[in-house]
Amino acid sequence: MTSGPGVGIVVVSHSRALARAALALAGEMLHGRPVRIEIAAGLDETTFGTDAVRVKEAIEKVDGPAGVVVLMDLGSAVLSAELALDLLDDPTARDRITLSSAPIVEGLVVAAVAASGGASRAEVATEARHALLGKAAHLSPPEETATDLAAGDDGPAVTARFTVANSHGLHARPAARLVSEVSGLDATVTLTNATTGAGPVPAGSLSRVATLGAQRGNEIEIRATGPQAQEAVEHLLALAARHFDEVAQAGPAVVEAVTSGPVGASPGIAIGPLRRLMVPTVDVDESETGDPAAEWRRVVEAVAEVRREIEHLRTLTVREVGENEAGIFDAHLTLLADAALLADVKQRIGGGVGAFDAWSACLEGIEREWSELPDPYLRERAADVRGVGDQVRRALVGAGSQQTVDEGILVARDLTPAQAAAIDASAVHGIVLASGSATSHAAILARSRGIPLVVSAGRDLLAVPEGSLLVVDGTTGEVHVDPEPELVVDYRRRAADLADRRARDLALASEPAATRNGTPVTVAANLGSVADARAALAAGADEAGLIRTEFLFLGRSTAPGVAEQEQEYAAIAAALEGRRATLRTLDVGGDKPLPYLPMPVEENPFLGVRGLRLALERPALLQDQLVAIVRVARQAPTSVMFPMVSTPAELRAARTALDEAAGPDGLPADLRVGMMVEVPAAALKIESFLPYLDFVSIGTNDLTQYTLAAERGNAGVAALSDALDPAVLQLIDRVCEAARGRTPVAVCGEAASDAAAVPLLVGLGVRELSVGPHAVPAVKARVRELDLDLCGVLAKQALTLESAAEVRDLVATKLTAC
């Protein structure tokens, strides 16, 4: 909104889209008259929530001698606005700020009009607060007066009861869901455990709801007052009826999703003590504290910092692991926005206690209450409180949040991509995950760094004591706990043999790979950075078969421009020293969202708007990337590859966009155009795509999950999601047969580095295998062992089998013949 000299207005909303729409509506009423209005809405373009730091920044942008009126939509928006006042750098500014109870849409319209006419802050706030009176007078019965409306009588209480059906009761996740539902309504709601007598507690406080100890079968009484009391009760009853959006279980004893493992996910052998992720403890002497205002400010800033960390981690987890696994972060965020908790901390600080000690005392009290709950599962959730509390404590003293692992074998329930990327490969000799899958991004990162990994090992391993000796075989999926000495000796010998083999393979890695009868096979590398390109060159990669350009688009608030993209792509090309670089266009979407690309929530994002589908809906974004790619192609051998293509029309549209990006000079002569074959439909009608292509690259990760209906991050179907299933091999064969003699076929999925898959892929007609840089030497060595004719016979036989297990057995028994 245009700047002006009068009262400033800030809109605090959970929804960025809602705030922008309200701002646009208000702008229509101003007819060009200047008013200073800022919005502090949403955690990003698509995530609901509010952030005190952003509210503070918005207030400072519009603050002036006339002051500021802040409009808030509901629930934690009020808390965020109150916290923002405590963060203001100017101690006198708080006296110029009015937090208004006005409705956000009607209030903003009349407040903006009043401010544009030169009204004072008090007049603007009054106009906003009375924004509903005209509508109320028109719709209310004659006997209802404006005075009655303004009085805001809460009216009689509305009560109801529900029975908890969740297997573990109202633990952190369902409780967080309940709290978020209540926070969105204009009502005062309390809950009582009618079965045990615990309560009443405020329904808007996660820390208090958990103390109800509500277990499966307990009856909970809801009591609500206020304008939306009836709606609040109805919402909570509906929420309880659908088990607070958790999957209802048949019995009281429930464990994590059944895994289908253990499954070897990254080859190699590791021997060492069991280690877990650790966060260094924080010990601080706060005998000397600042004034209460400064100490409270420290708490607010630390909480805001941790919220941003958790929000980022949640986004990564949704993108790479799944929405269900990310649910626990909702509970963490709700705890950090708990008004009762923060009020307790502030009260202690007002009594002279330092920020660190006040926060610690409050969190320790909550943790103690949770740990004393009767249900074992609910008691375990005290660890969630401790984890969040420690994060804020570390932020208070600037200790950071980096997790460390002692030297040995890391054991965890699962790893986020961020955690996997931060692992020190010199200390972590192997990884065992209780859940996860071999095609998860954490597994891909482990393979790219040569760390043996076993996934879907089951939660029993999480109970094994720290320091216990483990033997891990990332090829077979075997995990031995406290093995006999003879077994350890045997595995040490195997590990030494593997190390010798690796050294021999690396010594020959720079040489071309060809089968025993002279058929060349390109062994390329999958890259995501300039560092990856250097590693690929050192490992002997013939070229870059897949460059994941999304590395440049993640972790930022705006998309990179043409110049920045050109610079990064050119740097990768330079690091490859003349080898061809295949740049895949942006592969994001509903399952891998970007904050600056608002998208509707999709029930199944893997089947939604992603890859090329998204790029074609955002032509400006696609155009910028293609312009950058064309510029690099004029300087170095370059290919462009389009992901998630389902129809020839999509490919034709992409080719048209590429021609437009090239401009009047036309496409560079050496620029090759390809597409990913990840969708079964694309494989089945591949002939209709080939006229527009110079090459195709089969992405076996997605092709496998779509063919077998086995989501790649789901531990329950980890064993089913195997690229050597005959159905997947038949689709690869379909592509190779159609393309034979006219269009080169590559495989850039994880199957390309699978020792059992390599002879089958080569036998079917694949002539390029693109793998993680670390796998290049071993794949080249594997190719050199193969007899092409025998591989062809083996591959055709594999197409007739029933399962991936049978295919792997076939390869294992025929290795000497192939």
Query: 573 near 639, Cβ under 8 Å?
Result: no
Q: Which residues pair with 263 in a beta bridge?
A: 455
CA geometry: angle 416, 589, 714, nearest 5 deg = 40
Catalytic residues: 441, 748
Task: Report DSSP state, residue 700.
Answer: H
Q: What single string gives the DSSP state of each residue in 478-547?
A: EEEES--HHHHHHHHHHHHHHHHHHHHHHHTTTS--B-TTS-B-EEEEEESSHHHHHHHHHTT-SSEEEE
Buried b (16+ CB within 10 A) or exposed e, 191-213: bbbebeebbebbbbbbbbbbbbb
Q: Which of 363, 403, 362, 396 is nearest to 285 (CA)?
A: 396
Q: Which of 745, 752, 757, 736 is nearest to 810 (CA)?
A: 757
Buried b (16+ CB within 10 A) or exposed e, 659-692: eebbeeeebbeebbbbbbbbbbebbeebeebbee
Pull the structure tokens for residue 260.
């289908």
CA geometry: angle 306, 307, 309, nearest 5 deg = 60
- Within a 10 A sphere around the Cβ of 450, how many other Cβ atoms? 17
Number of residues that make up the chain: 818
Task: List phi, psi (to 5°) of 430.
Answer: -165, 165
Strand order in the sheet with 188-193: 158-163, 219-225, 188-193, 201-202
Task: Report DSSP state, residue 675.
Answer: E
E strand spans, 643-728: 672-677, 695-698
Query: 537 near 576, Cβ under 8 Å?
Result: yes
Amino acid at 549: T
**How does strand 97-100 pair with strand 68-72?**
parallel
**Any idea which residue has 């790619």 for tokens?**
629
Q: Which residues pair with 430 in a beta bridge?
A: 409
Distance between CA 517 and CA 520 in Å, rounded? 9
**Ramachandran area for residue 589 (φ above 0: left; ψ -120 to 50: alpha; else beta):** left
Task: List phi, psi (to 5°) of 317.
Answer: -70, -40
- Within a 10 A sphere around the Cβ of 325, how many other Cβ atoms? 19
Q: Which residues pair with 747 in a beta bridge?
A: 698, 769
Q: H or E stretch including 220?
A: strand 219-225
Query: 661 near 640, Cβ under 8 Å?
Result: no
Q: What single string gives the DSSP state of each residue in 262-304?
A: -EEEE--EEEEEEE--B--------SS---HHHHHHHHHHHHH
- The long-range contacts involving 229-234, CB below 8 angstroms and separated by at least 24 positions, are 229/154, 229/155, 229/157, 229/158, 229/187, 229/188, 229/189, 230/158, 231/185, 231/187, 232/158, 232/182, 232/185, 232/187, 232/189, 233/158, 233/159, 233/160, 233/189
Buried b (16+ CB within 10 A) or exposed e, 743-762: bbbbbbbbbbbbbbbbbbbb
Distance between CA 202 and CA 323 in Å, rounded? 28
Sign for the pseudo-dihedral over CA of 566, 568, 574, 578: negative
- Within a 10 A sphere around the Cβ of 251, how many other Cβ atoms? 7
